[in-house]
Structure 1
Amino acid sequence: MIWSCFCLLLCAHRDIQAAVRMLSAACLLLGFAPFLVHGVPPIWTQPEQVHLSYAGVPGSMVVTWTTFNKTESTVEYGLLGGRMFKLIAKGSSALFVDSGKEKRKMFIHRVTLIGLKPAATHVYHCGSDEGWSDVFSFTALNDSSSFSPRFALYGDLGNENPQSLSRLQKDTQMGMYDVILHIGDFAYDMHEDNARIGDEFMRQIQSIAAYVPYMTCPGNHESAYNFSNYRSRFSMPGQTESLWYSWDLGSAHIISFSTEVYFYLEFGLELIFKQYEWLKKDLEEANRPENRAVRPWIITMGHRPMYCSDDDQDDCTKFHSFVRLGRNDTKPPAPGLEDLFYRYGVDLELWAHEHTYERLWPVYGDKVYNGSADQPYVNPKAPVHIITGSAGCRERTDRFQPNPKAWSAFRSTDYGYSRMHIINASHIYLEQVSDDQVSRY
């Protein structure tokens, strides 16, 4: 900063030299003035990083946001076209201390809205009398089993090189999606620069996540400090700190789980078994005849795939994939997930991690089980796998092996993301959007 000193000099001739010396001293003192004033810490009560998630209960939505000083947690909301902010909901905040060197502190606020009118547009803002967010809107999810929801799905979206972000922002603002599924790996990485990268990423996705529920699962890039940034920043259903949970929408039962329990044993080997038992019970419940009749689709989302044809030696490139077949190097041996998902009739498995797009034929036990030669995806005899991890991050896209196995149906190294439309109880439509070619596959 350059400081200028302007003074009015009125003096006798004989005092000019003395006055100049005084003026120089005054200007010098003024120049150092910024360094003599003690800094006052800023007050950060303004809400930011606003995002939504579905609470798993019909007529509900969770609003989550961040402040850097403690404030009240309030959402004022109402129906679009009605009286502005007619309704008020209160919640609470939790102090999150990042484990980096600076031990930065932030307050994560959560407020659950209930009794929302299904399929109706609501407007809201969040915060307190010490600062309010912008005004946002969302459409409450339709709780009917005949609802035909539309999704955007992807993983591996970073703060740097977020190739698909602008198109996802525009899609969302055009009302194209009811839900976003982010299948692990956020920001690259949320803990970096003492969690400032996480803050910036959450600000980036606010233009999406403040308007539609943003449903997540953890990836390997969230592992720092035992996934603390992920567990603290997101608010998924259930009581598992967003690590695994399930929810219903339209004619689908959707399960989110952590593949990372197979790879970060230092955070607890028991997590593999705890999650496995939870998955088994959840799938048993979803397969009760009365439940499967209402929601015949069972869809899973987890970060690291069981199968892939990339050339990077990741878990999915190996026949003895930990996620697929489990681990025999633990005591007791840890069970994999392929047999479990096959036994309980999972229809569609969504993955990311590989920075590519790959669609598989119905596969089980490394073999193809198409519905028929002419219509492979009609009544398939095994789950269908979709890998969609090319949304864009600093690690760029991956490469494929030149000769994939028979289960690989389509591959692309373009940046992009996927769209899914659960049309009804018998049809799901999926497409991949290339951010390089502006086309669909």
Structure 2
Amino acid sequence: CDCHDKTVLFFGCHLLAFINAPVSESNSSVRSIYIISNDWELFFTGEPCSMVVTWTTFSKTESKVEYSLLGGRLFEMTAKGDATLFVDSGKEKRRMYIHRVTLTGLKPAAAYAYHCGSDDGWSDVFSFTALNNNTSFSPRFALYGDLGNENPQSLARLQKETQLGMYDVILHIGDFAYDMHEDNARIGDEFMRQIQSIAAYVPYMTCPGNHESTYNFSNYRNRFSMPGQTESLWYSWNLGSAHIISLSTEVYFYLEFGQELLFKQYNWLKKDLEEANKPENRAVRPWIITMGHRPMYCSDDDQDDCTKFDSYVTPGLEDLFYNYGVDLELWAHEHTYERLWPVYGDMVYNGSKEQPYVNPKAPIHIITGSAGCREKTDRFNPNPKEWSAFRSTDYGYTRMQVVNTTHVYLEQVSDDQYGKVIDSIWVVKEKHGFSAWF
């Protein structure tokens, strides 16, 4: 890895740790330190080979991370950052400090030990592997949406698999905690503690869902720190041979928070897709993958937006994604798993009858919103449209590997069936971009 290659991403991480100290919130000393959200934020800056560590305290303290190469002298390096005050909008107006520290000069694919905090209190010791920024890297993802504080059924299996080193990145496609603002944001605190055994070890990348909308998405915007300058609402980043775009479908539904967000995101998306489709960029990272909470299509029996032909999301995004050759679209919101045939304009465009996902003629949609929450799983319409290829109401999550420039592998894990893989596909594309549809 050449860390001076200006195409390298800045890699940020929100690592999760928790110190359980019997001190009240009103006490001036630290009650808890937990690294929020392990959205190890991957984002490009002028300093590649870096990470951002994020955590929260209830008192104002120094922001410090001590770290070292795994196996070396412990904590031989120190980085300092700063904290911003977040005041929850609930009745109690609870105050918390969000800490962010940037680690620089990391060696790609090297393992590190770290802890965060200050002399007022330290987290447990955790480890992470800096992402490989080589374009031939084959990253492995776990992806899901709709994971709650109550009934987080898939969480234990995800924790174990993460700590076994099965994943390089986690994609949480909206809806956290159910809901982060509840009980004056204490549910948000507890949820962050719940996911620490995932988020402390791998990048935890996010997008907003409808359950984050309270107080204009303030808990989401403060607790997560994704790339770019949009308060984590939309952003893009590169990994291996993929360009990954995260977006907010909620701009189409919460117009009371400002219609300008809808236009700002659309203009940003168009510009980002234009850049990703420049021949020199698409040659290196041919896969364009999007993640957004509410799907364009679904066959659930709940009358949600995606069950309607005139979905709010579809006219806003479908033509844009099709015209710029988006390969794979990841969604959640529906508490089910559904794999679609390649679809555009409500019609199926398989690569062929025998091999539908080999050189498909339209984007491929995956809905993975059954990780587990208090609202349970959803029911399906017994008569789905032709684009519905596989459906399951089991609790579970999806695995994805961007193997190389021509192959992506996806499989669905059923937590109800003790980790059994119940569905899998290979997506094979010898050509990418708009012209690949013809």
The answer to whether the superposition gives a TM-score over 0.5 is yes
1:184 to 169, 174, 177: 174
Change (3 A) 1:172 1:321: same
Distance in structure 2 (CA, Å) of the matches to 1:76 and 1:379: 48
Distance in structure 2 (CA, Å) of the matches to 1:421 and 1:405: 28
Distance in structure 1 (CA, Å) of the matches to 2:348 and 2:284: 28
1:426 aligns with 2:406: yes
Residue 332 of structure 1 corresponds to none
**Pairing 1:366-381 to 2, within 5 Å after superposition:** 366-381=346-361
Residue 408 of structure 1 corresponds to 388
Residue 31 of structure 1 corresponds to none
Residue 92 of structure 2 corresponds to 102
Listed one character per residue, the Cα deviations across residues 169-202 of structure 1 (whole Å, up to 9, x for unaligned) are 0001100000000000000000000000000000
**Pairing 1:300-311 to 2, within 5 Å after superposition:** 300-311=290-301
Distance in structure 2 (CA, Å) of the matches to 1:49 and 1:188: 19
1:296 aligns with 2:286: yes
1:54 to 27, 30, 41: 41
Distance in structure 1 (CA, Å) of the matches to 2:149 and 2:234: 25
Distance in structure 2 (CA, Å) of the matches to 1:55 and 1:385: 24
1:44 to partner: Cα distance: 4.3
Contact 1:52 1:61 in 2 (8 A): no
Residue 167 of structure 1 corresponds to 157
2:120 to 130, 141, 145: 130
Listed one character per residue, the Cα deviations across residues 112-133 of structure 1 (whole Å, up to 9, x for unaligned) are 2122100010111001111111
Paired residue type of 2:248: S
**Pairing 1:12-411 to 2, within 5 Å after superposition:** 41-45=26-30, 46-50=32-36, 51-57=38-44, 58-325=48-315, 336-411=316-391
1:300 to partner: Cα distance: 0.1
Change (3 A) 1:377 1:40: closer
SS at structure 1 position matched to 2:355: coil
Task: Give the structure-2-normalised TM-score.
Answer: 0.88
Number of aligned residue pairs: 393
Paired residue type of 2:195: I
Distance in structure 1 (CA, Å) of the matches to 2:239 and 2:174: 21
1:52 to partner: Cα distance: 4.2
1:41 to partner: Cα distance: 3.7
Paired residue type of 2:372: G
1:374 to partner: Cα distance: 0.8
Q: Unpaired segments of 5 or more residues in structure 2?
A: 1-23, 424-438
1:86 to partner: Cα distance: 1.4
Distance in structure 2 (CA, Å) of the matches to 1:206 and 1:147: 26
SS at structure 2 position matched to 1:281: helix
Paired residue type of 1:416: G
Contact 2:170 2:202 in 1 (8 A): yes
1:54 to partner: Cα distance: 2.6
Change (3 A) 1:421 1:40: closer
1:49 to partner: Cα distance: 3.7
Distance in structure 1 (CA, Å) of the matches to 2:76 and 2:272: 38
Distance in structure 2 (CA, Å) of the matches to 1:403 and 1:290: 44
Distance in structure 2 (CA, Å) of the matches to 1:343 and 1:147: 27
Distance in structure 1 (CA, Å) of the matches to 2:286 and 2:25: 59
Change (3 A) 1:44 1:404: farther
Distance in structure 1 (CA, Å) of the matches to 2:142 and 2:49: 21
Distance in structure 2 (CA, Å) of the matches to 1:244 and 1:63: 20
Distance in structure 2 (CA, Å) of the matches to 1:41 and 1:420: 44
Contact 1:52 1:211 in 2 (8 A): no
Task: Give the structure-1-normalised TM-score.
Answer: 0.88
Distance in structure 1 (CA, Å) of the matches to 2:59 and 2:284: 46
1:75 to partner: Cα distance: 0.7
SS at structure 2 position matched to 1:81: coil
Listed one character per residue, the Cα deviations across residues 214-273 of structure 1 (whole Å, up to 9, x for unaligned) are 000000000000000000000100000000000000000000000000000000001111
Calculate percent identity across the aligned residue pairs: 81
Listed one character per residue, the Cα deviations across residues 66-106 of structure 1 (whole Å, up to 9, x for unaligned) are 00000011111111111211111111101000000000000
1:40 to partner: Cα distance: 10
Contact 1:369 1:380 in 2 (8 A): yes
Contact 1:182 1:215 in 2 (8 A): yes
Contact 1:55 1:112 in 2 (8 A): no
Paired residue type of 1:48: Y
Paired residue type of 1:378: V
Q: What RMSD, in angstroms, separates the aligned Cα atoms of the two structures?
A: 1.1
Contact 1:54 1:60 in 2 (8 A): no
1:55 to partner: Cα distance: 3.2
Distance in structure 1 (CA, Å) of the matches to 2:231 and 2:161: 29
Contact 1:397 1:413 in 2 (8 A): yes
Listed one character per residue, the Cα deviations across residues 388-412 of structure 1 (whole Å, up to 9, x for unaligned) are 0000000000000000000000000
Contact 1:49 1:199 in 2 (8 A): no
Change (3 A) 1:40 1:360: closer
Paired residue type of 1:200: E
SS at structure 1 position matched to 2:195: helix
